[in-house]
Structure 1
Amino acid sequence: MLTTMTRYMPRRMNARVASLLVLGVGMGLKAQQAAPEKDVLIFTNGDQLSGTMVRSVGDSVVFNSDMAGEITVPLKQIKDLKTHGAFAVLKHGVPVAQSRKVVPAPVEITTDTLTVEETPQVPSQTVPMKDVALVVDEKTFKSSLTHDPSFFQGWNGAVNLGTSFTQATVHGGSISTGISLIRTIPVIPYLRTRNRTTANFLENYGVLTTPPVLSGTGGDVQAKTSIMHADAERDEYISKRVYVLGTVAFDHNYAQSIALNQLYGGGFGWTVFNTPLHQLDLKADAHYQRQGHFDPTLNLNLFGSTFSEAYRRSLPYKMVLTQTAAYLPAWNDFNAYSANGSLNLAAPLFKRLSLNVTALDSYINNPDPGYQKNSFTFTTGLTYALK
């Protein structure tokens, strides 16, 4: 029929039609050649899924199926999985410096073994799956392991804000604000942590004014609250759970006569456990502390330690509970010890927005005369997750 139709067309139009047909066939062949081959996952019961392998961590494989989406499959259910893309195979106990030299290549995974296919750069080898810690795609491997991100990349955290105002015979208000930042390298959460950087800032400020008619004085009387805390910590992991740390912290507490408390130290930390359900860290350091009081004659230069713990727990409905506690003895002045603790509950409201309830308790054994040793703050507000 095409021949009959073109017989009655002008020659110029015949040429155009022929060119379009050739171009269409060429593009179709090129698209067919460019389409990547699919990985095929064969289960032990004979079922199959086509798609792309994402990664393998521990005793399971993450597979992006064309039909079922991203799924996690235990190794014991996999008969065979052969990839067409290149993957880096990282083994248990191999130092990071040596792992960085791994050359990605296609792999084949079974229940018990992993085989690296031979390429011009990589010889074929078979590894027992029990020795494999992680199998990660070439792009992720190069971006997260062979190259460190810049200082401005990889940060996560949250910003919170709470306020209250009173306008009556007694008038005033308060504001609580804070920001928490964390950066873990590698930035991919399922890779073994090499280092971690945290930074926190918290400010609770309030003023309540009582007029002379109620205060019984010749002028307004103001009750002031000002509690500020800022800290930063760098952790360098020397094993999967143990790390060395450097820390710095600054505190101001109007309720405890602390003009500015400065702390600079270093020590060790231990991640006792870290699962999606909960995490517990224990830390100990040695530090120099400059304890600055409202009365400069009471200022102290202290050499002491910090013994602390931090616990995180995931609760139903995506709520998260975090708790911290620290004890700070001073070795050159046993009377100048202090302690602090916090409890925070975050409940999600909408997307990145959460409701938070926080209780803070701070204790100093040697405040200025007339000041109480203990300071307790309870705040509620909104938290916005940065990522």
Structure 2
Amino acid sequence: MRALIFVLLLASSLYAQTPKTPDSLVFVNGEQLTGTLEKADSKGITFKSLMAGEITVGWANIKELRSDQQFAVLTTNEKLTRRNAAAVVPSGRISVADKQLVVATKEGPKVVPIEKADRLIDAAAFDKAINHPQGLLQGWGGTAVGGVSLVRATQDSTTFTGALSLARATPTVDWLPARTKDSIAYNQSYGTSSQALTPTIKSNIFHANAEHDRYFSPRLFAFGAATFDHNYSQLVDLEQAYGGGVGITVIKNAKHELDFKGDIHYEKESFFTIDGSTPAPNLNLAGSTFSETYLRHLLKGIVFNEFGSVTPSWNDTNAYSAHVNAGFVFPVIKGFGLNINGIDDYLNNAPFGSKKNSVQYSTGITYTIKPR
């Protein structure tokens, strides 16, 4: 009995160590390559071999292609949902010959003309996307930023800056229609400046927001949001707003994205005074925020992002505000980069003794958090 168990374990170990059959690629001129098929679309394939490295080959140059990997084959102009994707999309081992892509599905061979093949997706990733929706804590990605500035001389000054921005889209793949998107963000700048025989000067500015988007179409969505702001320099103890509205994605491709949004919200503004001798105003406002968000991927992995908004108040026309936030992220190594950012806040009804405009410039180390 022990000998039988040993033989079975040895056979299982040998089977697990058996190398996979490499994918094979035959060009129209008869040359061949073996390696791994990494991806494909309507233009051609990306193939990685030990001898040639990673190459991109157009379909017109391919005579034959065989792979033992399991792929799901998406076709052009196919409108997919999680409900119909499993029935509509063929999945299995693939081969290519005579300008035809053949998928060995469980039901039998499925032929897809090359010109209609939009992309290949790993079968396991395809199954996960349609049959295993992500949990509440899964799928979050974004950036974390931190920076510090120290001066030790006649004047001592210390400034800390930090930011965290996270977003999660459902579903996480771009070949299924968008349903929801959740985002949370927080940034803060805190600093002190002191000198012998003089009072210490403090600055403290933070912003936090959370938003939930629900899509009616790939570009039109409704949203609910909450924002919180504190600005010691403008004597703002807490500015909080709760509301909802609609948004539209005007541009969205691999290089850039442009969104416009408008909402109706309730806003409460609480101020304070430095000396406490006069009562601080507190306002209850009904207003709207009209905003735009722009993201651009530049050369060498550099990312530019910008956000601008104006917020009029309908029951107090003097209590309007505006906000602009723009910055660059320069990649350095393994998810780390250099962040350069500027923020401009304008508050028309800032209390006496404070400026209406508040401007921040900051640099720091940023880390990209990939969705899991």
**Matched-pair contact (CA < 8 Å) for 1:161–1:382:** yes
Q: 1:34 to 1:253 in 2, by over 3 A?
A: same
Matched residue SS, 1:144: helix
**Matched-pair contact (CA < 8 Å) for 2:90–2:105:** no
Q: Distance in 1 between matches of 2:214 and 2:312?
A: 25
Q: Distance in 1 between matches of 2:24 and 2:356?
A: 67
Structure with larger RCO (C-alpha < 8 A, sep 6+): 2
Cα distance, 1:193 vs structure 2? 4.8
Cα distance, 1:93 vs structure 2? 1.9
Question: Could you tell me which amino acid in structure 1 is paired with residue 73 of structure 2?
Answer: V
Q: Which of 67, 74, 84 lines up with 1:98 in the alignment?
A: 84
Partner of 2:238: 260
Q: Once the two structures are superposed, what CA deviation does each residue of 1:12-66 show, in whole Å capped at 9, x if it has no partner?
A: xxxxxxx9xxx9xx969x7599554443333344433333433334534333435
RMSD between aligned residues? 3.3
Cα distance, 1:140 vs structure 2? 0.8
Q: Once the two structures are superposed, what CA deviation does each residue of 1:108-128 show, in whole Å capped at 9, x if it has no partner?
A: 446865443353xx3544344
More off after superposition, 245-254 vs 51-60: 51-60
| Percentage of identical aligned residues | 35
The reply to whether residue 177 of structure 1 matches residue 162 of structure 2 is yes
Q: Which of 218, 226, 233 lines up with 1:240 in the alignment?
A: 218
Q: Which of 193, 202, 210 lines up with 1:224 in the alignment?
A: 202
Q: For structure 1, list consecutive stretches of 5 or more residues without a partner in the other structure.
A: 1-18, 213-219
Q: Which of 115, 133, 139 lines up with 1:154 in the alignment?
A: 139
Q: Once the two structures are superposed, what CA deviation does each residue of 1:146-199 show, in whole Å capped at 9, x if it has no partner?
A: 212222233222222222233344333221111222333444577765443322
**Matched-pair contact (CA < 8 Å) for 1:345–1:358:** yes
Q: Distance in 1 between matches of 2:266 and 2:56?
A: 49
Cα distance, 1:141 vs structure 2? 1.0
Partner of 1:280: 258
Q: 1:373 to 1:33 in 2, by over 3 A?
A: closer
Partner of 1:40: 24
Q: Which has the larger radius of gyration?
A: 1
The reply to whether residue 197 of structure 1 matches residue 175 of structure 2 is no
> Normalised by the size of structure 1, how large is the TM-score?
0.78
Q: 1:169 to 1:83 in 2, by over 3 A?
A: closer
More off after superposition, 313-322 vs 58-67: 58-67
Q: What number of residue pairs does the alignment pair up?
A: 354
Q: Distance in 2 between matches of 1:149 and 1:229?
A: 29
Q: Distance in 2 between matches of 1:352 and 1:32?
A: 34
Partner of 1:379: 362
Equivalent runs, 1:130-149 vs 2, <5 Å: 131-149=116-134
Higher helix share: 1
Question: Could you tell me which amino acid in structure 2 is paired with residue 97 of structure 1?
Answer: R
Q: 1:326 to 1:99 in 2, by over 3 A?
A: same
Q: Which of 57, 80, 91 lines up with 1:73 in the alignment?
A: 57
> Normalised by the size of structure 2, how large is the TM-score?
0.81
**Matched-pair contact (CA < 8 Å) for 2:188–2:205:** yes
Matched residue SS, 2:129: helix
Question: Could you tell me which amino acid in structure 2 is paired with residue 98 of structure 1?
Answer: N
**Matched-pair contact (CA < 8 Å) for 2:225–2:243:** yes
Q: Distance in 2 between matches of 1:278 and 1:227?
A: 30
Partner of 1:12: none
Matched residue SS, 2:127: helix
Partner of 1:167: 152
Question: Could you tell me which amino acid in structure 1 is paired with residue 158 of structure 2?
Answer: G
Q: Distance in 2 between matches of 1:373 and 1:252?
A: 14
Higher strand share: 2
The reply to whether residue 328 of structure 1 matches residue 306 of structure 2 is no
